[in-house]
Amino acid sequence: MYDFELARPTTLAEALEMLAEEGSDPLSGGQTLIPSLRARLAMPERLVSLMHIDELKGIEQRGDALHVKGGTTHAQLVHGAYDIFPGLASLAGRIGDPAVRTRGTIGGSVANNDPAACYPAAALATGATIHTSQREVAADDFFLGLFETALEEGEIVTGVTFPIPQASAYEKFIQPASHFALAAVFVARFDTRVGVAVTGASEDGAFRWKEAEAALTEDFSVAALEGLSLPEQGLIADVHGGADYRARMAGVMLRRAVAALA
Amino acid sequence: MEKFGKSQPVRRVEDVRFLTGKGRYVDDIVPAGALQAFFLRAPVGHGIITEMDTSMAEEAEGVALVLTADSFKAAGFVNEMDFDVIELEDGEGAAPPRPVLADGRVRFVGEPVAMIVAETLAQARDAAEMISLEVDDLPCWFGPGPGGEDIHPEAPGNLAYDWSMGDEAAVEAALAASDRVVTVELPDNRVAATPMEPRGCYVEMEGGRLHMCFNGQGVWGAKDEIAACLGMEASEIRVTNPDVGGGFGLKGATHPEQLAIAAAAKMLGRTVHWMGERTEGFLSDNGGRDLVSTATLGFDAEGRITAYKVETLSNLGAYNSNYGQFIQSELFSKVAPGTYAIDKALLKAKGYYTNSAPVDAYRGAGRPEAIFVLEHAMGHAALQLGIDPFELRRRNFIPPDSFPYTSATGVTYDVGEFAKVLSRAEEHSDVAGFEARKAESEAAGKLRGLGLCYYIESILGDKQEFATVVFGENEVELHVGTQSNGQGHETVFAKFLSDQTGIPMSRIRVVMGDSDIIEWGGGTGGSRSVTMQNTATLAAKDGIAESFGAFLAEREGVDPAEVTFDDERFRLPGSNLSPTMLEVAEMAREAGRDDLLKQTHKGSLRNMSFPNGAHVAEVEIDPETGVTKVVRYTVTDDFGVLINPMLAEGQVHGGVAQGIGQALTERVVFDEEGQLLTATFMDYALPRAEDVPMIAFHHEGTPSTFNAMGMKGCGEAGTVGALAAISNAMLGALAPLGVSDIAMPFTPERVWRAIEETRVAAA
């Protein structure tokens, strides 16, 4: 780890002011950034911690949607969303291990957009809105590729609003070592539409599986998915699985999620 | 049995210390003010060092010393590691030098190239980034087998040794005359030892003497190696091992970092500390296994083995480590014919250098490899011959009336009741209920297989050990030459001495791991510790009883021959005096007989023991994903007389868990440039609690006749049996689909792909 300054603002305004200065980077739960710092892969001059800002914490129901503030940890979400949006609570409860869930935040995860992160799948499948310090962005327009999002310099995620589906399921096929998603599918069933998103599999990060959405919107059944498969192009191939394997596992996870809900 | 070890499941006294954070490991006891060391490591797998400029690093803030091969040698030290080479029919194995710090050429990613010593670790790291290192790449070779660029001029074709044992002509003739011949090629995947505590050490100067504290499996080997490397007398060196968080063979071998740290401490006259990080361990720790064997079994018409042949190619890594050349050759041979009456056996083993970290002992060291080959080949044979796997073993077991039995590889087994143990295993594992369990799995869309391995283990290590008993005013010290790495030695050794002498266990303190206090010992390794240390303790008890008896006889004026000791009290003829050993020690102290209060006695054995038993594993496979779970695991062991059944069972649990890891999840992968793709736990999959089922342990002991306790070593047995049991279970589950060629580790993708290929072929 290289030396850096650490600032601990207690209001969002103060944090944004600091982040506007040259050489400052935001630090949320640190579950990705701290290991990178330890390995000397990042060299920030100053880190602005977002962990002491009360206005960035909390979960509330807003009409048909669940609003989760950016600094909410996975562990807080497990409890806070349990009765309102159990599918999302279940997803949060399977991120990492208890230590990771106690520190890691939804804002950090969404802003990092790791190709194997869990939340982007739920955000894309439900048609969530990402709230930033400057604007509101639809999930479809927010996740732009591997570790890439619509966030500008100095802009941070302040919350995510998830439309609450009638029912949802997250089937996660884990990479055996890290237990990150190797191929995971979030299925969100609404009155008039079905959202399906895949994470862990693509070189471009989480994405919506629109063919699956169309088929399931017409007929929500495993049978409706007959013959449907994910193309291998652009999928990740590594020591844990080839692109063809990830494509097939995404299909298996999709069918299992639908079977669990049908 | 009562006499030698009361076979009680005594709880581990050291656990309270370990579990409450009071364990004292190397990193907990580094003296204040120690300098911190950081190693610059080879960034590529193979190449010539064309430039190494350390001048900026030397002048960086806080830096006390930068060592490279050149400055190491210029200081008068020997830039070569010690290792043994195997004897061959026509000479011996290759002996290319292994440098402490890379000398002109790097041969694996992670090889230490330079060491930076600074006031803080951050300063040492900063300075390391200022070293300009240029390497002209050479092609990498990963074998195992001939080929690639020569890594050492001393080893053309990268061949380190070509070793064989057995009568080739007789074996080939017997195979040719056999009714059936079964040949299988069996890869044995490379694993990383990954002890919970990585390697680390500190070295301080105490007056003119050098003290190294490191987390090892014994202190005496390192002491000799430091002396040779630094040109010091052994008497000028003290080596200690504090609490150690797992060794598994890895920590039995001196690694280059220790010698570099010792050199720096000597040069600077200051304490120098290094604690390896996890990725440094993955890169530079000795690896385990990493071989591929072709096994051929000949059978007669009744399914009896006519001959056995194994040809093995193994990876030694870039250099010879301590015992690297012996693992897949001599140690493999110890149990190669297993528990079967095989008259004709041929072993051919070739070891090759490759651009990976050296490969040396890993829990079992050669015996898990040999039993995996034999027992998985037996699994294939049962399938091909259409004989029930339990029955095929029974037909071939060495009969109980043939002992002592000398195997085809020249090892004499003392006792063995293999058929009896197997029958018990068949009951305990409820083989009869397997079809019902399989039907249940199939109803849930899963495949299920049952696999058997009947293993035998050969206990290794030094066949002598010492025990020193010191009668202090408040406690009795037992000095031992073995070394706990977390196995519970403090409990077992204190309890055994207590049982033998009547000294309360709470008054006994086990002392280990200090070369100034204990002159010599064999350390831990080869499952030797309890057998050897208790043999020494028995000798000590006899010696103390005799000398104390003589003292009492003189004091009371009786014939020494009539004084007896009954494991609790001394008895004198015609006297009401019946003192305990501690009471006699007090009398001796009052009489000024200090010579009696510290006694060292040696125990030695002519032969070690041969634990054996049956592992029965059941796996369940999800054919859609390839995810494989070990769902049932039953061990029925013959460990002779159990000294502490609870600790023996714990050793089996840990051994089986390591076996499950190698069989299902653990895999070391390099890319073509020699970069390690599995350098953290994010990519190297150790088994987790959920991957290990409840392991049923049963015991059917036949006492060993090779030691007084009748015990058999249990430290490695779990690992020895697990690989073939799980591999055979996989075969059982997958063979009906047409899959018979699948290698460990049975990762989801690999299993899925194997199933998928048969589907494609069938379509």
Among the partner residues A177, A241, A248, nearest to B684 by beta-carbon distance: A177
Q: Is B752 on the interface with A (CB under 8 A)?
A: yes
Ranges of chain B whose pLDDT falls below 70: 1-6
Are residues A245 and B667, on separate chains, in Cβ contact within 8 Å?
Answer: no
Residues of B in contact with A239 (CB under 8 A): 667, 669, 677-678, 683
Task: Judge if A233 and A183 occupy the same domain.
Answer: yes
- Span A66-71, average pLDDT: 98
Distance, C-alpha A81 to centroid of its chain: 15
Three-state secondary-structure class, residue B429: coil
CB-based contact (8 Å) between B38 and chain A? no
pLDDT at position A113: 95
Same structural domain, B422 and B467: no
CB A187 within 8 A of CB A258: yes
Please compute the mean of the pLDDT values over residues A122-143 and round it to a whole number.
98
B281: enclosing H helix or E strand: helix B278-284
Residue of chain B minimizing CA distance to A172: B625
Q: Are residues B245 and B321 in the same domain?
A: no
In chain A, which residue's Cα lies nearest the Cα of B676? A239
> Has residue B1 been placed in a domain?
no
Q: Which of A177, A242, A249 sits opposite B683 (nearest CB)?
A: A177
Question: Which CATH number fits the domain that encloses residue A140?
Answer: 3.30.465.10
User: Whose CA is closest to B693, among B607, B625, B629, B757?
Assistant: B629
Q: What pLDDT is recorded for position B9?
A: 87
CATH of the domain at A15: 3.30.43.10
Enumerate the β-bridge partners of residue B349: B163, B312
Chain B residues near residue A180 by CB distance under 8 angstroms: 682
Among B99, B147, B90, which Cα is nearest to B315's? B147
Q: What is the pTM of this model?
A: 0.96
Count interface pairs A-B at CB distance under 8 A: 39
Are the C-beta atoms of residues B88 and B329 closer than 8 Å to each other?
no
Chain A residues within an 8 Å CB radius of B624 = 252
3-state secondary structure of A2: coil
Domain identity same for B552 and B691 = no
Considering CB atoms only, which of A176, A240, A252 is closest to B624?
Answer: A252
Count: domains in chain A: 3
Q: A242 contacts in B (CB within 8 Å)?
A: 749
For residues A105-123, give the mean pLDDT. Answer: 97
Residue B640 domain-assigned (yes or no): yes
Q: State the Cα–Cα distance between residues B219 and B743, nearest whole angstrom.
A: 38
In which domain, by residue range, is B232 found?
34-138+194-284
Do A45 and A117 lie in one domain? The reply is no
Residues B80 and B219 in one domain: yes
Cβ of B625 within 8 Å of Cβ of A239? The answer is no
- Which residues on chain B are in Cβ contact (under 8 Å) with A176? 665, 685, 747-748
Instruction: Give the dihedral sign, CA B531/B536/B542/B544.
Output: negative
Name the helix (H) or strand (E) containing B41: strand B35-41
Question: How many angstroms separate the CA atoms of B357 and A243, rounded?
Answer: 30
Same domain, residue pair A22 and A99: no
* B119 and B217 inside one domain: yes
Whether the CB-CB separation of B90 and B55 falls below 8 Å is answered with no
Residue B681 touches chain A, beta carbons under 8 Å = yes
Other Cβ atoms less than 10 A from the Cβ of B433: the count is 9
Domain boundary among A145, A163, A181: A163
Q: Can you say how many angstroms the Cα of residue B113 is from the centroid of all Cα atoms in its chain?
A: 28
* A244 and A172 housed in the same domain: yes
Same domain assignment for residues A134 and A159: yes
Where helices occur in B635-695 by DSSP H, the ranges are 645-660
Domain boundary among A140, A163, A186: A163
Determine, yes or no, domain membership for B571.
yes
For residue B8, the 8-state DSSP code is: -
Q: Which of A4, A19, A22, A46 is nearest to A158 (CA)?
A: A19
Domain that holds residue A10: 5-49
Residue B408 lies in a domain: yes
Position of tokens 């390099």?
B670
Instruction: Identify whether residues B456 and B474 lie together within a single domain.
Output: no
Coil vs helix vs strand at B210 = strand
| A151 and A184 share one domain | no
Whether A177 and B685 lie within 8 Å, measured CB to CB = yes
What average pLDDT does chain A have?
97
Indicate if A181 and A241 belong to the same structural domain. Answer: yes
- How many independent structural domains does chain B possess? 3
Amino acid, res. B659:
G
Q: Do B683 and A240 count as a contact with CB atoms less than 8 A apart?
A: yes
Residue A66's contacts (CB-CB under 8 Å, 6 or more residues apart) are A59, A60, A81, A84, A85, A88, A161, A162, A164
Helix and strand element counts for chain B (H, E):
20, 31
Final residue belonging to a domain, choices B220, B249, B284: B284
Residue that finishes a domain, picked among A29, A49, A69: A49
In the listed set B604, B627, B649, which residue is the last one of a domain according to the structure? Answer: B604
Chain B closest CA to A88's CA: distance in Å? 24
Residue with tokens 């190693």: B39
Beta-strand runs (E) in A77-117: none
Whether B269 and B375 map to the same domain: the answer is: no
Within 10 A of B624 (CB to CB), how many other CB atoms are there? 17
Task: Let me know if residue B345 belongs to a domain.
Answer: yes
Q: Would residue B15 count as lying in a domain? A: no
Strand partners, B201: B214, B274
In a shared domain, residues A67 and A112: yes
- Are residues A109 and A189 located together in one domain of the fold? no
A152, A216: one domain: no
Give the residues across from B604 on adjacent strands.
B464
- How many Cα atoms are found within 13 Å in the side-chain-facing hemisphere of A258? 23
Smallest CA–CA distance, residue A38 to chain B, in Å, is 11
What distance in Å separates the CA atoms of residue A118 and residue A171, rounded to the nearest whole number? 10
Report the run of H or E that residue B617 belongs to, with start and end.
Answer: strand B612-621
At A68 the three-state DSSP class reads strand
Assess whether A173 and A189 both reside in one domain.
yes
Counting Cα atoms < 13 Å in the Cβ hemisphere of A243 gives 9
Nearest residue to A158 (alpha-carbon basis) of A50, A29, A78, A85: A50
The tally of CA atoms less than 13 A away on the side-chain side of residue A14 is 14
Give dist(CA A254, CA A187) in Å, integer.
7
- Is B12 within the bounds of a domain? no
B572 and B615, same structural domain?
no
Distances (CA, A) of B374 to B370, B397, B733: 6, 13, 20
Q: Which residues in chain B are contacts of A3 at CB distance < 8 A?
A: 122
> Residue B665 and residue A175: Cα distance in Å, rounded?
11
A41, A232, A249, best to mutate vs chain B, most B CBs in 10 Å: A249
Domain shared by B424 and B476, yes or no: no
Do B650 and B510 reside in the same domain of the chain?
no
In a shared domain, residues B596 and B612 = no
Backbone angles phi, psi at B686, to 5 degrees: -75, 150
Q: What are the counts of helices (DSSP H) followed by strands (DSSP E) for chain A?
A: 10, 14
Kindly report the CATH number assigned to the domain that includes residue B229.
Answer: 3.90.1170.50
Name the residue facing B749 among A40, A177, A240 (closest C-beta).
A240
B-chain residue closest to A241, CA distance: B749
Q: Give the domain CATH number at B491.
A: 3.30.365.10
Predicted local distance difference test score (pLDDT) of residue B1: 39
A1–B752: do the CB atoms touch at under 8 Å? no
Judge if B272 and B134 occupy the same domain.
yes
Q: Which are the contacts of A157, defined by CB distance < 8 A and separation ≥ 6?
A: A70, A106, A107, A108, A110, A111, A130, A131, A132, A151
Among B604, B633, B663, give the residue marking a domain's end: B604
pLDDT digits over A15-54, tens only? 999 999 999 999 999 999 999 999 899 999 999 999 999 9
- Chain B: give the shortest CA distance to residue A217, in Å: 25
Chain A CB contacts of B625 below 8 Å: 173, 249, 252
| Angle, alpha carbons A137-A140-A145 (nearest 5°) | 105
- Indicate the residue of B665, B669, B686 with minimum beta-carbon distance to A239: B669
Give burial (CB, 10 Å; 0-12/13-18/19+) of B658: buried
Distance between CA atoms of residues B375 and B455, nearest Å: 8
Structure tokens at B4: 């030698």
CB B118 within 8 A of CB B64: yes
- The residues that bridge with A131 in the sheet, in sequence order, are A136, A159
Quote the CA–CA distance of B585 and B589 in Å, as a whole number: 6
